[in-house]
């Protein structure tokens, strides 16, 4: 079924007509205003003329959500799963990216305190001392610009407090898999450092988890973690009009990757591994929570960041300068065949650094808000990938006879981005306004790609220089109309763009010099945002239609002995849908959060080696998803008891464009999550318990192509039921 914008608008009007605006009932509690910076200024969530989901950091922590990927189960239209901590699978409204190499960029931009995170390995953040998370739906071409063809996620950390304050949080827990214990400790302190109002804050976090995929015969355990993160924030008021904010952060992650588990088509011989060696795992080896491997796999990740924000304000004028520098270093080893046979290993190392500078000037009057800006970034990335054939692979003999260790590729890439942008918002009347935004972008990528060991297959080793550049003009226009002081409707048209991509694991020398064109999208959205019943109900709804051209994807084409990976523009797609989310305060002690998303995401054009995939559903695009959570608040003794139970359901998804026709296991059926938490706050203390995935839903997060057919043959499995105890002590107010 395909929903039209006309029908969706009719639904919105019906909703508006049946929800009375008059006072509904006397209630001491009302909907709290959520202030966001989705449009690079502080404003109410209810005034933003496009769909945004926002979550307070303290609420996420109380619910037991500690990783950014976990908000996928409570955000309509967001699919966020991971292969591991360096390979996120992040999609908004069906648009995302499966790549994780140095020559490609995410289709959904992730921003930390306003700074763009360019590399895939930096996207899966820990939610330590977070002020809020904002999920912006649809292309954000004007203000965010770079590589936000599908949407953006903005993570805002807490500022240093004005008075001496701090906290210490200790957490312990376990999961349904025996031996999977977890422990974490977060310590934060901050306050004034000089009499002129300067403040400083520091948070140190340590997380340790034993893991839920113990490798048979090895000490490594998939899903385990040993990490440390440190963040310092400083605020300096230089004058009454000028101030400087500095942030420095460091994190170190060490933990084996999640294991690639061979599916049954590998077991019955339907699919051959990349080498051609027959793989026949036993049922024991196919157990995703007790896998049999022959490699002591690992994932190591180190990030460093510096950010300086200089702000000046006088009367109705403001100026902001945001300067960011980030480094990322990842090192990993995977067993690609997912069995006890020594067949195929994958090694990767990536080092990157990124500098960005954004300048913004704004002018505000009673009816006019004008913002002008410029953006520059430069990123250098070196990535090395290697395939090693083991003793159980007949190709090992070939490589040994040639004195070769295996196949090796490198990407040495420099990416530069420039943009100028502006946005004008004008109030035509007290209840009507329009917004016009424009952005001109230019992206340049140059570098050197190489392949070694390919001569053994008659393909030829190579060293190729490549450079390409792309320009994009992305406008946006929006009209907003307030039906009442509490109810706003809007219509927004916006375009988005993601820069082109260079090749990854290119087999043929000629293929290494071919780049993929940029992705481009256009989105029209009609929405309603309002609070009703004396501000006891917040209801936000949106209907949208997105057309995206030149989708980029890494495909594996069949080769003589090995598959031929190619990054190319696979086709165009049309995405239509409807989303609704809100909060309802039933009484002084009970409130309900709810959300629903309908998604019809299909290919308009897409021809592969398997045939025409036109009309098929885009990967990772569930048709229906919804969730509801009940929150309770009770005064108990001298403290307050806070409870939450949340249920969410997601429709089936496909991992490949064939929609399961070639491999029925290349996807996952509908799944449900049940989460719960209970916290007791008394004076400066909070003690809480939480449970994630209480029904112990075990499902396939994603699939991975391990052979030359292009058919997904190995799977990555989910976290089991996990629960924990959390103890927090507050020093002052943070």
> What stretches of 447-545 show up as alpha helix (H) in DSSP?
509-512
Phi (first) and psi of residue 511, to 5 degrees: -70, -30
Report the alpha-carbon distance of residue 256 to residue 258 in Å, rounded.
Answer: 7
What pLDDT was estimated at residue 563?
Answer: 59
Helix or strand or coil: residue 15? helix
Report the alpha-carbon distance of residue 147 to residue 262 in Å, rounded.
Answer: 34
704 C-beta neighbours (distance < 10 Å), count: 20
463 C-beta neighbours (distance < 10 Å), count: 12
Cβ neighbours for 130, distance < 8 A, ≥ 6 positions apart: 57, 60, 61, 155, 156, 157, 158
Identify the sign of the CA torsion 140, 144, 150, 152.
negative
Q: How far is CA 463 from CA 43, 166, 511, 559, in A?
A: 51, 54, 12, 21
**Of 222, 260, 270, 257, nearest in space to 336 by CA:** 260
Cβ atoms 545, 578 nearer than 8 A: no
**Of 620, 621, 636, nearest in space to 703 by CA:** 620
Helix or strand or coil: residue 164? coil
Q: Judging by DSSP bridges, how do beta strands 225-237 and 519-532 pair with one another?
A: unpaired
Q: Which residue has the tokens 């490609």?
A: 104
The total number of residues written for the chain in this structure? 734
Identify the sign of the CA torsion 703, 704, 706, 707.
positive
Model pLDDT for residues 599-651, shown as the tens digit of each residue: 999 999 887 766 778 899 999 999 999 999 999 999 999 999 999 999 999 99
What pLDDT was estimated at residue 584?
Answer: 97
Tokens of 255: 């933990």
What pLDDT was estimated at residue 466?
Answer: 93
Report the alpha-carbon distance of residue 352 to residue 433 in Å, rounded.
Answer: 43
What pLDDT was estimated at residue 508?
Answer: 81
CA triple 576-582-584, angle to 5 deg: 150
Helices (H) and strands (E) in the chain, counts: 5, 41
**Of 411, 338, 373, nearest in space to 119 by CA:** 411
Model pLDDT for residues 655-706, shown as the tens digit of each residue: 888 888 877 778 899 999 999 999 999 999 999 999 999 999 999 888 876 5
Q: What is the dihedral of CA 620, 257, 253, 701, to 10 degrees?
A: 20
**Of 192, 63, 195, 59, nearest in space to 133 by CA:** 59
Exposed e or buried b per residue across 260-296, where buried means at least 16 C-beta atoms within 10 angstroms of its C-beta: bbbbebbbeeebbbbbebebebeeebbebbbbbbbbe
Report the alpha-carbon distance of residue 112 to residue 561 in Å, rounded.
Answer: 44
Report the alpha-carbon distance of residue 717 to residue 608 in Å, rounded.
Answer: 27
Q: Judging by DSSP bridges, how do beta strands 611-612 and 653-654 pair with one another?
A: unpaired
Model pLDDT for residues 447-475, shown as the tens digit of each residue: 999 999 888 777 889 999 999 999 999 99
Tokens of 56: 């307070």
Tokens of 682: 């008394």
**Of 337, 453, 338, nearest in space to 405 by CA:** 453
> Residue 617, CB half-sphere, CA atoms under 13 Å: how many?
21
The answer to pTM > 0.95 is: no
Mean pLDDT split into 10-residue runs, the chain, 734 residues: 44 41 50 89 91 94 91 93 87 91 93 92 87 94 88 94 94 95 96 94 96 83 93 96 97 86 56 45 65 83 97 96 97 82 87 96 95 96 91 75 85 96 95 96 95 84 94 96 96 95 88 92 97 95 96 70 73 96 95 97 83 88 97 94 96 88 83 96 95 94 66 79 96 74
Report the alpha-carbon distance of residue 634 to residue 68 in Å, rounded.
Answer: 29
Model pLDDT for residues 292-320, shown as the tens digit of each residue: 777 788 999 999 999 999 999 999 999 99
Cβ atoms 712, 705 nearer than 8 A: yes
What pLDDT was estimated at residue 707?
Answer: 55
Report the alpha-carbon distance of residue 364 to residue 263 in Å, rounded.
Answer: 59
């Amino acid at each position: 079924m395909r929903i039209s914008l006309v029908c969706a608008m009719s639904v919105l009007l019906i909703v508006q007509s049946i929800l009375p605006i008059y006072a509904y009932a006397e209630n001491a509690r009302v909907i709290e205003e959520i202030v966001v910076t989705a449009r690079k200024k502080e404003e109410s969530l209810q005034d933003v003329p496009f769909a945004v989901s926002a979550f307070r950091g303290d609420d996420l922590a109380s619910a037991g959500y500690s990783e950014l990927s976990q908000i996928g189960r409570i955000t309509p239209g967001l699919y966020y799963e991971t292969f591991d901590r360096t390979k996120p699978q992040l999609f908004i409204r069906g648009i995302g990216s499966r790549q994780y190499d140095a020559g490609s960029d995410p289709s959904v931009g992730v921003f930390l305190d306003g700074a763009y995170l360019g590399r895939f390995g930096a996207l899966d953040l820990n939610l330590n001392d977070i002020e809020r998370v904002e999920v912006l739906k649809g292309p954000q071409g004007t203000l965010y610009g770079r590589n936000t063809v599908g949407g953006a996620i903005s993570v805002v950390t807490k500022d240093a407090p004005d008075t001496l304050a701090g906290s210490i949080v200790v957490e312990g827990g376990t999961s349904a898999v025996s031996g999977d214990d977890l422990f974490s400790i977060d310590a934060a302190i901050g306050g004034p450092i000089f009499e002129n109002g300067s403040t400083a804050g520091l948070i140190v976090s340590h997380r340790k988890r034993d893991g839920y995929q113990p490798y048979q015969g090895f000490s490594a355990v998939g899903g385990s973690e040993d990490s440390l993160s440190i963040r310092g924030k400083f605020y300096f008021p230089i004058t009454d009009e000028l101030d400087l904010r500095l942030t420095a952060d460091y994190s170190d992650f060490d933990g084996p990757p999640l294991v690639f588990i061979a599916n049954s088509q590998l077991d019955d011989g339907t699919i051959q591994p990349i080498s051609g060696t027959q793989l026949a795992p036993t049922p024991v080896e196919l157990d995703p929570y007790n896998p049999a491997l022959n490699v002591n796999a690992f994932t190591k990740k180190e990030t460093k960041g510096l950010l300086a924000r200089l702000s000046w304000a006088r009367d109705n004028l403001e100026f902001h300068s945001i300067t960011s520098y980030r480094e990322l270093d990842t090192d990993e080893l995977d067993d690609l065949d997912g069995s006890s046979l020594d067949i195929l290993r994958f090694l990767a190392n990536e080092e990157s650094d990124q500098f960005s500078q954004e300048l913004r000037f704004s002018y505000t009057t009673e009816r006019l808000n004008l913002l002008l800006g410029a953006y520059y970034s430069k990123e250098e990335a070196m990535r090395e990938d290697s395939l090693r054939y083991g003793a159980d692979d007949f190709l090992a003999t070939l490589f040994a006879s040639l004195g070769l260790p295996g196949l090796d590729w490198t990407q040495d890439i420099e990416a530069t981005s420039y943009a100028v942008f502006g946005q004008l918002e004008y109030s035509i009347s007290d209840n009507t306004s329009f917004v016009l935004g424009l952005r001109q972008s230019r992206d340049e990528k140059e570098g050197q790609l190489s392949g070694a060991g390919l001569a053994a297959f008659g393909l030829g080793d190579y060293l190729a220089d490549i450079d390409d550049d792309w320009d994009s003009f992305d406008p946006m226009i929006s009209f907003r109309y307030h039906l009442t002081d509490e109810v706003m409707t809007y219509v927004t048209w916006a375009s988005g763009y993601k820069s082109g991509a260079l090749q990854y694991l290119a087999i043929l020398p000629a293929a290494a010099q071919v780049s993929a064109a940029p992705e481009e999208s256009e989105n029209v959205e009609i929405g309603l945002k309002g609070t009703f019943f004396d501000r006891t109900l917040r209801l936000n709804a949106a209907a949208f239609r997105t057309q995206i051209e030149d989708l980029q994807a890494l495909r594996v084409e069949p080769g003589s002995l090995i598959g031929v990976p190619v990054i190319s523009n696979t086709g165009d797609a049309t995405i239509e849908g409807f989303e609704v989310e809100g909060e309802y305060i039933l009484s002084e002690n009970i409130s309900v959060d709810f959300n629903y998303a309908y998604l019809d995401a299909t290919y308009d054009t897409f021809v592969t080696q398997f045939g025409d995939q036109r009309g098929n559903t885009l990967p990772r695009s569930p048709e229906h998803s919804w969730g509801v959570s009940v929150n309770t608040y009770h005064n108990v003794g001298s403290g307050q008891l806070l409870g939450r139970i949340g249920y969410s359901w997601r429709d089936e998804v496909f991992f490949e464009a064939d929609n399961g026709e070639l491999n029925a296991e290349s996807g996952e059926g509908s799944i449900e999550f049940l989460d719960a938490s209970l916290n007791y706050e008394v004076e400066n203390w909070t003690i809480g318990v939480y449970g994630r995935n209480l029904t112990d839903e075990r499902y396939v997060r994603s699939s991975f192509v391990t052979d030359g057919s292009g058919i997904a043959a190995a799977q990555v499995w989910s976290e089991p039921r996990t629960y924990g105890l959390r103890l927090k002590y507050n020093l002052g107010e943070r």
